[in-house]
Chains A and B, each alone.
Chain A
Amino acid sequence: MKEHKGVYQNSTELMDLGGKPFYMNDFVDACLYGRLNLFLQGDTGSGKTQLAKDAMDYFQEKSMFILGRNDMDTRELFQQINLEKLRNGVSSQELKELTDKINYKLFVVDELPNSVPAVRAQLFNLFDGFIEINGKTYPIGDGYSVGIATGNIGQKFTESNNDLGRALKDRMHVTIDTDHFKPNSWDTFNILSTNTNPRVDFTKKSENGSLEKKVLEIHNKIVSEEIPFEKLVVANYLIHGLDYVNLDGKETTKTKLKDAWPNAITNHGMGSDESLVLSVSARAAKSILRLSQAFDYIAKDKGLTDDQVKENYFNSMMNAYKFVGAYSGVLNDLAVREIYGNDKYSAMDAVISTTKTQFDENAPKISAGLEMVNEGKKSKKVLDRFSGRWNFMKEFLERASEENKK
């Protein structure tokens, strides 16, 4: 955020939108604006904790830092968030009053994988704005809370039977492998020449004052804005289009194939996204849309005009898809290892390339389809243009034209 200069320095670009580069701190801002939980995966000492600490400066006393430890139990966690009275047997009403008083906006959990599962589950609940006590959920704060967690779990992300990996995929909306976007030599020269204290300084407070109000204003703006239709089509392609599979001429979906994917796709050409990636869930699609909206806000803040932002809707969605999708469990890990040198981001780039081709080819048909609906027509000639992975668009346009006739 322009108003806050954090300690973390990293000028390695993660993405580009309309010529505006996005860095690691922009991603943290985007997640805060979109209220998306962020997991910073990376090696020890790579700066993830400092990055999270910088985010805490936005909220100052309304942020909480928790260090993940395997000897921490839920009692200690509740003590940390001033809920120790819970252990003394309180009524539901008292409980509600207590939880209402918790007004943390940002929870930062350093080394989250060190926490035991019961504590981890409560931490995820805090990120999502509630706490679970005796099977009942109680909202905390006043509607905005978000979490940033750090950790280094490496390969465990790829083990489908791993509880931690699964929990992270379920509850963290965006995961960034910070090792992939390490600070460059310019940054490290600067960092090392000004400060040789290897610890993150939690005593130093930001001089800018709390930026909570600004973050919440941006968040409210982002969530209240109408989602551009172009982005909705992209999101639906990621949900339905990427689910489509053609097995020896038989059309089916990866969802129906269940565990048979990707092995059932035999002899398919190398590089095809049918065997490389699963479709995204509706929940992940929401995260992608939200993150893309936040990217657009930041791009505008960096100087893009409304028209330029509009021209980049597709790119914005693809970048959001890349960072929501890479560690969400949608990639075929074997293919990523064998074809992409275990680089999930490269694999996502390949899927994005194919998606771009798909949209380049189908955008004129889609625009014709939209016009067809607006004119109250239902043209077989137009609808028949959509087949295979674009069947979803045919279904939508058919339904929309029927609705318009009513």
Chain B
Amino acid sequence: MSALAGTAVGLSVPQLEGDDKLCGSAQYIADLHRPGMLHGAILQSPHAHARIRGYDLSAARALPGVRAIITGDDLDEQHRMGAFIKDEPAFAKGKVRYVGEIVAAVAAESEAIARAATQLIRVDYEELPAVVDPAAALAPDAPLVHEGSAQYIKVFDAGTDGNLCSRTEFTSGDVDAAWAGCDTVVEATYTTQAQAHVSLEPVGALAEIDAGGRITLWSANQSVFRVQASVCESLGLPMTKLRCLTPRVGAGFGNKMEAHVQPAVVLLAMKARRTVRMILSREEDFETVRARHPFSIRIKTGARRDGTLVAREIEVLLDGGAYGDDSPGVLGYALLMQCGPYRIPHVRAHGRVAYTNKLRFGAFRGFGVPQVTFAAESQLDELAEQIGIDRIALRRRNMLVPGDPWFGGQAIRSNGLAECLDIVERESRWREPVAAPTPDAPSGQRLRRGRGIALSAHISGLLASGAIVRLLEDGSVLLNTGAVDIGQGSNTVLTQICAEALQLPVDRVAIASPDTDGSPYNWGTTASRVTYVTGRSVVGAAAEIEKKLKAHAGEMLECGVDDLELLPGGKVAVKGVAQKSVSFADISGRAHWAAGGPLIGTHSWVFDQKTFDPKRAVALGLPFAQIGIFSFNALVVEVELDEATGQVRVVGAWSACDIGRAINPMLASGQIEGAFVQGMGYALVEEMVWDGARLANPSLMDYKIPTMGELPETLRAYLIESDEPSGPFGAKSVGELGINGVAAAIANAIADAAGVRLRQLPMTGERVLRGLLESAAAS
């Protein structure tokens, strides 16, 4: 591992925003207040699919206190946004495509008036047949969610056609020939459900407009730059007219990565020519924004009798909902990652996303990997059972070792997977028998325990970042990266990286809040990319500052720059002669007042490692041409299953993550633990349920996430440091890694406990009990 100055990296520094959060003074979007501001409210579509024939706003306009109303008539047909396919207007125009879609919005003197006014808006709909099932949507005579889908602008070869939003295929080797060389082949279908993000903070935005028409937009977001792009594209605004800022954000998990109410709020502010704030209710957030893609997965894996994996075919169908959003990326990424961290020479991975008349499905922690890992890691256990080989032995035999590339040939230069597996095998006491909590209970009334394992991976490198480091007049440092801290602690981690690079204590570095006016471009807080991609920018910008510091110091100390070194605490000294030094403050003074000008260090880059080696894999419809740098996870869970009710609870979880280097061990562990519990909800409890085309459970009464009561007795995160050579101080990222294997590990543990193999999520008590009864009937 590269040596550290020890001022910052590797320290469990508490979050820099901790005081505000612990005193309740942190300002989230709903806490922002402007004197005289208007309040916004939305009108939602009652129909899953309908043409909008017209609006009657007269009653709404007449309500005292109403200041602006916007509808699709205020939008231009040409202006559409979308991360991969420009298919989405700012809100519904011409048609509504899902129940709950924003059809109109009102700004008024109070929220109560705004909400009352929305109920006075009359919309003339012509109902159309709706399609809610993705397979039905791809049938030849299905109603078209987007009639003009082929004409939309796309950023890659999506293959869009009718309700086919995108299609992707990756092949490696010769799968069709390879089955013949397999001694065992297992094939099965898995289905996964829509999961709601349930960030504790519902979405919202606040837009201010100046006399010249320039807008300042605050919103709960994961990327000020994606907000800017989406609002400007969907409203036809030049980017110079919109400044996007970030308050404290109450989590996102992907829900706040792309636009939500921002375009509507900006348009309201423009129409009212006053500040407008709009915060969605919990129900509106559930119904309107986005959720995790349901997947239907057909997967087939072949191996030799010694357990060596030979061939994999996987076909997926994603429910994309009404708009493309991040769907093509989720599809492509899921297919890239479905092999898991294993060598499989012959692979065909293909899939499609279908438009349906439901809310858009989009980014959610894991981005398709929890879904395919559920299928693939479950299948590996079934394969192990069929071959008669130990579940861990099968994985050890095939897992990627240092030197192996990822599926498709991308080089991996740090791989700590073996240590991850070793530690969870040991710590979970895998080799010992599980406890039998009710040894004397009769059959049908027992509590049964079992263990399951899953290995998975996630990337760290994607798209662009920049960083600006400035030396302030007193020698302290200001860092500006544009990366949004959504609670995961990126502000703290990036500050630590900068401090370490300049050998400063953390409290001598301040970090600016993301602002499209002042911050360098950062694609967003998503894809687990901030520590790695933005961290590298921070290192690069700090290196520039170091160069400039030394240039000054060389002149001040009359020596060559190669004879100089940084000392901890903000000094530049002659190597080996600590007394011959100048402080950062001295240098800054010289620069500001005498020579050279203020010290500014910058760095800008876009991740450019190619996803695939064209000699190793063929790709069709590849949404990310450059994505990579792999972190690895080994996860063991122990479950307890109640035979009487089928209910499963997790009693122990041991999750080891190779993250290259833990910049902040406490924050990294927090990500792993939080991801586990969120994954546990995904595996056992959470499900968005549709009643026809209407979401039946858009409330926290009916949609349940794990409570403290569900916390396993043992939940352990282990940090493995394999030192990624390209990473900032060796770091890779950790934000999503911990969720990917959870559903699979739990499914495998249930099979271990009770011999029931579930292939549908969530694995509710009902589904488990049905499985128990079916296997009892079969035997």
Please determine whether chains A and B interact with each other in the same assembly. Answer: no
B: residues with CB less than 8 A from A are none
A: residues with CB less than 8 A from B are none
